[in-house]
Amino acid sequence: MDPRLQRLLGGEALAALRKRLRQRYQRGAPAGMLRLGALNEAEHAALAALTGRPARHVRSMQIEVAEIDTTLARAGLATSLRDALEQIDGPIIDLTAQRLQVRSQWQQLVEDCEHPGLRSALQTSVGLGLLKRLCGSRPEAGTLLVRHADRVLQRLPAAGIPRAQLAVAALGDAHALDAGSPVATLILTALRHDGTAELDGERARELWAAAGVLVNELARPALALNLPGPTGAEPGEPAYLSLRRLLRSPPAWTVTGRPVFVCENPNLLAIAADQLGPSCAPLVCTDGMPAAAQRVLLTQLRAAGAELHYHGDFDWPGLRIGNQMVREHDARPWRFSTADYRAAVIGAPRPGRPLDDAAVSALWDDTLAGAMLTERLAIDEEGLADMLLDDLRHC
């Protein structure tokens, strides 16, 4: 760099001025007039020297960029003002062009995605935003992440393969699909089909299960009684069905057009086994909010033609479970209406279990929540065992 250029525009005193001039080029502004305000004496003096203006200090100045380009070139200091600024402080990046290039890279990344569910998710602002967060907004890292997700998704649905085994087979790393990993999060987004991946552990496990992938496959097995099919239990004895078994060897349930009752609490199923044994109608327990094994079993029963009838506790969690049963499994209420609740309240022992204000509306009965708020009394499923067992006995 010519020392004259350093004396003219270099140095710390003119660093702020050079930054302002560089920003003009970074924004891709066209050549023309440029107005600069709030100039200090050193900045004004430098611009005056470049333009041949009087050195008397004024706070603002309007300059013709082409004129400065000509002056610098004629003096042999630089080919243009931009060249001068780059000689002093390094290359100037056109941020507008850079943003367009990066945007094009993201678009190309989405277009190259092979899995239709993942591509659809990434075409939404939420899905693409998630990908950018997962890869630190670096398109090259995003490309690799999508490629890995595609590689896994190509192997789905599976037939009951453990998640770690899938991770090794597809990516060579048993922990690549662990909960919270970027590629696992992206895969779950594709499986969820809504562009998000805000999932709790149980919901994530269910999504994996629906794709034939086992995660903690022996945890929280489904509990059932007298299901027509190969449960491995004697008639009248409760059967535990693990997620592993349900996915690896899906039972052939012979339930077409038959009612299958669903309760919330294991205690009710135990009472039914004790009092009715082999005479009890098919009964499945959700054991609270259904986990992956329970959801898979209920999905299999519905696919086999069963008519599901649900009863739970008359409290807000019970109604929340009921809503899920209606939405996801097309279940019908089983003695779970406003009239059933009011009848139960009449004979309920006191003081009982009070209800709080966190009401949940029931999808199958729009007056049930209001009745429960009025009475402020929860009715546990076990307290209605005699009535429920009478239904189970006569089916």
pLDDT of 219 > 80? The answer is no
Q: What is the DSSP letter of 314?
A: B
Mean pLDDT over all residues of the chain? 91
Closest CA to 270 of 286, 288, 285, 253: 285
H helix intervals, the chain: 3-9, 15-26, 41-51, 65-74, 81-89, 95-112, 116-122, 125-134, 139-153, 163-171, 182-192, 201-210, 243-248, 266-275, 292-303, 316-329, 338-347, 368-375, 385-393
pLDDT of 129 > 60? The answer is yes
Average pLDDT of the residues in 269-289: 96
pLDDT of 333 > 60? The answer is yes
Instruction: Write the CB contacts of 37 (distance below 8 Å, at least 6 apart in sequence).
Output: 59, 60
**Structural contact between residues 183 and 176, judged by C-beta atoms closer than 8 angstroms:** yes
In this prediction, residue 57 has a pLDDT band, given cuts at 50, 70 and 90, of confident
Coil, strand, or helix at residue 393? helix
pLDDT greater at residue 194 or residue 348: 348
What residue type is assigned to position 36 of the chain?
L
Amino acid 295: pLDDT: 93
pLDDT of 296 > 80? The answer is yes
- Check residue 355 and give left, alpha or beta (phi > 0: left; psi -120 to 50: alpha): beta
* CA 103 to chain CA mean position, Å: 23
Q: Which residue has the tokens 């269910």?
A: 206
Closest CA to 142 of 190, 109, 174: 109
Amino acid 197: pLDDT: 47
Burial 73-86 (b: 16+ CB within 10 A, else e): eeeebbebbbbbbe
- Among 72-86, 192-206, 226-240, the minimum mean pLDDT is found in 192-206
Amino acid 193: pLDDT: 63
Instruction: Write the CB contacts of 73 (distance below 8 Å, at least 6 apart in sequence).
Output: 79, 80
Distances (CA, A) of 382 to 71, 109, 147, 269, 356: 94, 55, 52, 10, 20
Reported as a single tens digit per residue, the pLDDT across 139-171 is 999 999 999 999 999 999 998 888 989 998 999
**Structural contact between residues 330 and 308, judged by C-beta atoms closer than 8 angstroms:** yes
Average pLDDT of the residues in 357-384: 96
Reported as a single tens digit per residue, the pLDDT across 266-278 is 999 999 999 999 9
Closest CA to 190 of 107, 123, 290, 138: 123
Amino acid 195: pLDDT: 47
Amino acid 25: pLDDT: 84
